[in-house]
Amino acid sequence: MDHIIILGIESSCDDTSAAVIKDGVLLSNVTASQAVHEAYGGVVPELASRAHQQNIVPVVSEALKRAGVSKDELSAVAFTRGPGLMGSLLVGVSFAKGFARALGIPMVEVNHLQGHVLAHFIKEPDEVHASPKFPFLCLLVSGGNSQIIRVNAYNDMEVLGQTIDDAAGEAIDKCSKVMGLGYPGGPIIDKLARQGNPKAYTFSKPHIPGYAYSFSGLKTSFLYSLRDWMKDDPDFIEHHKVDLAASLEHTIVDILMEKLRKAVKDTGINEVAVAGGVSANNGLRNAFREHAAKYGWNIYIPKFGYTTDNAAMIAMTGYFKYQDKDFCTIDKPAYSRVSI
Ligand code: KG4
């Protein structure tokens, strides 16, 4: 039997990543992150594109080397077509198209958001891996998205609800910036929150119907509350850092889980996964575990390495699409905005 060997390439934001999957098993996943953005408190698109240009060839070479696979053995090249930053995407898309064309093998376009969801199917060598069963619900929470997705099949996903303004990760990052913490704020807030009291402060929660999310009101409530408290104590943030972090995280997790509970109840689907950068959050992971125990959900929490942007999830999605012969042509441009 011929092997199916997929090279995956991810460059949608500030991580340049390449991975190799052979017959559904991950052989390598190499990521170059870009520290250059830390000084700016957010990703600077032009700097991200330039760093991708420098990183893409070494990262792909390293991924092939670690997998022990020669480029001539590849069956296809899968790449993130969008959504993401256009300048960043263009580097990966152009490289992938050129590489596939030079090797005379198919190219497979991947929707980055679908990649996050299908990260749950990444299987490492010798790993006993439990993947969600279809249909399942996936809470996709990242710096750019907060949505509840009904996943009917690898190639059939339906957004039940999504944020009408900021994403959860964006809200955490902005609140962390207000507190004078570094970027990205998510991991910093997560660490501080472990030592604080989650019920020390309350911030406003949105009241919107259905499965939609909103985080901009919380951000404002956080900012205005801090301003008030700092009138009496200019060093309020420094004095109450851990409780502020814990209360902020608690509020965000509460908002996320409330809608997810509703989706589980309404659909009757109790296979529930979480994905995206914010799924690294310990408070959210604990909330998933508590819901599993309390409501009998079968939960799927990704390994830390597969929460943030990575090419393993792109190669995995490419592997499924390859089997469906779902190839793309060279004229398909990158897209900065697209739904799942
Ligand atoms: O999926 P992702 O890597 O990429 C984009 O959306 O671009 O998500 C990044 C987001 C950021 O907002 C970051 O602060 C957040 O995920 N994040 C976390 C944690 N780790 C990353 N948020 C909360 N807790 C964490 N441990």
CB 53 within 8 A of CB 306: no
Q: Tell me the backbone φ, ψ of residue 105, rounded to 5 degrees.
A: -120, 160
Reference 4, options 57, 66, 78; nearest CA is 78
165 in a known ligand binding site: no
276 in a known ligand binding site: no
Q: Which atom of ligand 1 is nearest to the CA of 169?
A: 12
Q: From the first residue on, what is the mean pLDDT of each consecutive set of 10 residues in the chain (340 residues)?
A: 94 97 98 88 91 98 98 98 97 98 98 98 92 98 95 98 96 95 94 98 94 96 96 96 98 98 98 98 98 98 95 98 97 92
CB 84 near ligand 1, within 6 Å: no
How far does the centroid of ligand 1 lie from the alpha carbon of residue 227, in Å? Answer: 26
CB 166 near ligand 1, within 6 Å: no
CB 281 near ligand 1, within 6 Å: yes
Cα–Cα distance measured from residue 248 to residue 222, given in angstroms and rounded to the nearest whole number? 8
How far does the centroid of ligand 1 lie from the alpha carbon of residue 143, in Å? Answer: 5
Is the model's pTM score more than 0.90? Answer: yes
pLDDT at 1: 66
Name the token pair of 81. 């077509």
Interface ipTM: 0.96
CB 144 near ligand 1, within 6 Å: yes
Query: Which residue minimizes the CA distance to atom 14 of ligand 1?
Result: 186
Q: What is the pLDDT of residues 178-236, one digit of tens each?
A: 999 988 999 999 999 999 999 999 999 999 999 999 999 999 999 999 999 999 999 99
Name the token pair of 175. 């609140």
233 in a known ligand binding site: no
How far does the centroid of ligand 1 lie from the alpha carbon of residue 324, in Å? Answer: 32
Q: Which atom of ligand 1 is nearest to the CA of 170?
A: 12
SS3 for the chain is CCCCEEEEEECCCCEEEEEEEECCEEEEEEEEECHHHHHHCCCCHHHHHHHHHHHHHHHHHHHHHHHCCCHHHCCEEEEEEECCCHHHHHHHHHHHHHHHHHHCCCEEEEEHHHHHHHHHHCECCCCCCCCCCCCEEEEEECCCCEEEEEEEECCEEEEEEEECCCCHHHHHHHHHHHCCCCCCHHHHHHHHHCCCCCCCCCCCCCCCCCCCECCHHHHHHHHHHHHHHHHHCCCHHHHHHHHHHHHHHHHHHHHHHHHHHHHHHHHCCCEEEEECHHHHCHHHHHHHHHHHHHHCCEEECCCHHHCCCCHHHHHHHHHHHHHCCCCECCCCCCCCCCCC
250 in a known ligand binding site: no
CB 172 near ligand 1, within 6 Å: yes
Type of residue at 164: I
Q: What is the pLDDT of residues 44-66, one digit of tens each?
A: 999 999 999 999 999 999 999 99
Pocket test for ligand 1, best of 172, 256, 279, 336 (most atoms within 8 A of CB): 172
How far does the centroid of ligand 1 lie from the alpha carbon of residue 84, in Å? Answer: 14
**Residues pairing with 148 in the sheet:** 139, 161
Cα–Cα distance measured from residue 33 to residue 71, given in angstroms and rounded to the nearest whole number? 24
Cα–Cα distance measured from residue 133 to residue 138, given in angstroms and rounded to the nearest whole number? 12
Instruction: Give the CATH superfamily of 5-128+306-323.
Output: ATPase, nucleotide binding domain (3.30.420.40)
CATH architecture of 136-302: 2-Layer Sandwich (3.30)
Largest CA distance in the chain: 73
Where along the chain do the CATH 3.30.420.40 domains lie? 5-128+306-323, 136-302
